Structure 1
Amino acid sequence: MSIRFTEGALSSPCLKAGAPRAHLVDVREEGGCIIIEPLSQQLGLDEMLAAITAENVHAAVDFGSAVGKELL
Protein backbone atom coordinates (compact mmCIF):
# COMPACT_ATOMS: atom_id res chain seq x y z
CA MET A 1 0.00 0.00 0.00
CA SER A 2 1.18 3.48 -0.73
CA ILE A 3 -0.13 6.84 0.43
CA ARG A 4 0.49 10.03 -1.52
CA PHE A 5 0.09 13.39 0.18
CA THR A 6 -0.54 16.73 -1.48
CA GLU A 7 2.09 19.43 -1.08
CA GLY A 8 -0.31 21.38 1.13
CA ALA A 9 -0.70 18.46 3.52
CA LEU A 10 3.06 18.39 3.99
CA SER A 11 3.57 22.13 4.42
CA SER A 12 5.09 21.78 7.91
CA PRO A 13 8.87 22.38 7.72
CA CYS A 14 9.53 19.26 9.83
CA LEU A 15 7.71 17.04 7.28
CA LYS A 16 9.48 18.27 4.14
CA ALA A 17 11.77 15.76 2.43
CA GLY A 18 15.33 16.23 3.60
CA ALA A 19 14.35 18.29 6.65
CA PRO A 20 17.15 18.00 9.21
CA ARG A 21 14.75 16.98 12.00
CA ALA A 22 11.92 15.26 10.14
CA HIS A 23 9.50 13.60 12.54
CA LEU A 24 8.69 9.92 12.60
CA VAL A 25 5.02 9.03 12.52
CA ASP A 26 2.84 6.15 13.65
CA VAL A 27 0.37 4.94 11.00
CA ARG A 28 -2.47 2.71 12.12
CA GLU A 29 -6.08 1.79 11.37
CA GLU A 30 -8.81 2.52 13.89
CA GLY A 31 -12.46 1.88 13.10
CA GLY A 32 -11.90 1.97 9.35
CA CYS A 33 -9.90 5.23 9.48
CA ILE A 34 -6.18 5.66 8.85
CA ILE A 35 -4.60 7.55 11.75
CA ILE A 36 -1.23 9.28 11.28
CA GLU A 37 0.34 10.79 14.41
CA PRO A 38 3.85 11.96 15.28
CA LEU A 39 5.80 9.62 17.52
CA SER A 40 6.53 11.11 20.90
CA GLN A 41 10.02 9.62 20.98
CA GLN A 42 12.43 9.95 18.10
CA LEU A 43 14.30 6.71 17.44
CA GLY A 44 17.77 6.60 15.97
CA LEU A 45 18.56 4.61 12.83
CA ASP A 46 20.46 1.99 14.84
CA GLU A 47 17.43 1.44 17.09
CA MET A 48 15.07 1.12 14.15
CA LEU A 49 17.36 -1.31 12.31
CA ALA A 50 17.78 -3.39 15.48
CA ALA A 51 13.99 -3.85 15.59
CA ILE A 52 13.89 -5.52 12.15
CA THR A 53 13.47 -9.29 12.42
CA ALA A 54 12.78 -12.13 9.99
CA GLU A 55 9.18 -12.06 11.22
CA ASN A 56 8.47 -8.35 10.61
CA VAL A 57 10.50 -7.58 7.47
CA HIS A 58 8.43 -7.14 4.32
CA ALA A 59 9.24 -8.02 0.75
CA ALA A 60 10.22 -5.36 -1.77
CA VAL A 61 7.26 -3.71 -3.46
CA ASP A 62 7.23 -2.29 -6.99
CA PHE A 63 5.07 0.83 -7.06
CA GLY A 64 5.58 1.36 -10.79
CA SER A 65 6.94 4.48 -12.43
CA ALA A 66 6.53 7.97 -11.00
CA VAL A 67 3.29 9.74 -11.86
CA GLY A 68 3.90 13.06 -10.14
CA LYS A 69 6.80 14.83 -8.49
CA GLU A 70 7.97 12.02 -6.22
CA LEU A 71 11.55 12.18 -5.02
CA LEU A 72 13.41 9.24 -6.51
Structure 2
Amino acid sequence: MSDFYYVNKIAQPTGEHEVHASGCRYLPSVENRIFLGHFTSGKEAVKEAKKYYSTVDGCFFCCREAHTR
Protein backbone atom coordinates (compact mmCIF):
# COMPACT_ATOMS: atom_id res chain seq x y z
CA MET A 1 0.00 0.00 0.00
CA SER A 2 1.41 3.40 -0.94
CA ASP A 3 1.23 6.54 1.15
CA PHE A 4 2.63 10.05 1.52
CA TYR A 5 5.67 10.27 3.79
CA TYR A 6 7.34 12.98 5.83
CA VAL A 7 10.51 13.32 7.87
CA ASN A 8 10.62 15.11 11.20
CA LYS A 9 12.89 18.18 11.18
CA ILE A 10 13.49 17.71 14.91
CA ALA A 11 15.75 14.80 15.79
CA GLN A 12 14.82 12.29 18.46
CA PRO A 13 16.82 12.40 21.73
CA THR A 14 18.88 9.53 20.27
CA GLY A 15 19.81 11.65 17.22
CA GLU A 16 17.76 10.23 14.36
CA HIS A 17 15.09 11.99 12.31
CA GLU A 18 11.95 9.86 12.08
CA VAL A 19 10.00 9.16 8.91
CA HIS A 20 6.20 9.04 9.22
CA ALA A 21 3.33 8.08 6.92
CA SER A 22 0.58 10.68 6.44
CA GLY A 23 -1.93 8.92 8.71
CA CYS A 24 0.41 8.41 11.67
CA ARG A 25 -0.82 9.71 15.01
CA TYR A 26 2.77 10.83 15.71
CA LEU A 27 3.10 12.82 12.48
CA PRO A 28 4.94 16.06 13.32
CA SER A 29 3.21 19.43 12.93
CA VAL A 30 3.38 21.06 9.49
CA GLU A 31 6.20 23.40 10.53
CA ASN A 32 8.29 20.49 11.89
CA ARG A 33 8.22 18.15 8.90
CA ILE A 34 9.53 17.86 5.35
CA PHE A 35 7.37 16.25 2.67
CA LEU A 36 9.27 13.35 1.11
CA GLY A 37 6.78 12.15 -1.50
CA HIS A 38 4.55 9.20 -2.33
CA PHE A 39 6.14 5.79 -1.76
CA THR A 40 5.09 2.16 -1.60
CA SER A 41 7.06 1.52 1.59
CA GLY A 42 8.65 3.18 4.56
CA LYS A 43 12.03 1.87 3.44
CA GLU A 44 11.79 3.88 0.23
CA ALA A 45 10.83 6.96 2.23
CA VAL A 46 13.78 6.50 4.59
CA LYS A 47 16.11 6.35 1.59
CA GLU A 48 14.66 9.67 0.38
CA ALA A 49 14.95 11.22 3.87
CA LYS A 50 18.68 10.44 3.89
CA LYS A 51 19.04 13.17 1.25
CA TYR A 52 18.16 15.62 4.06
CA TYR A 53 19.64 13.96 7.16
CA SER A 54 22.37 11.37 7.62
CA THR A 55 20.71 9.64 10.59
CA VAL A 56 17.15 8.56 9.76
CA ASP A 57 14.80 5.87 11.06
CA GLY A 58 11.25 4.79 10.36
CA CYS A 59 8.58 5.40 12.97
CA PHE A 60 7.90 2.33 15.12
CA PHE A 61 4.14 2.80 14.71
CA CYS A 62 3.66 3.65 11.02
CA CYS A 63 6.90 2.55 9.29
CA ARG A 64 7.74 -0.56 11.25
CA GLU A 65 9.44 -2.22 8.25
CA ALA A 66 11.93 0.68 8.24
CA HIS A 67 12.30 1.00 12.03
CA THR A 68 15.75 -0.08 13.23
CA ARG A 69 16.43 1.72 16.54
Same fold (TM over 0.5): no
Larger radius of gyration: 1
TM-score by length of 2: 0.26
TM-score by length of 1: 0.25
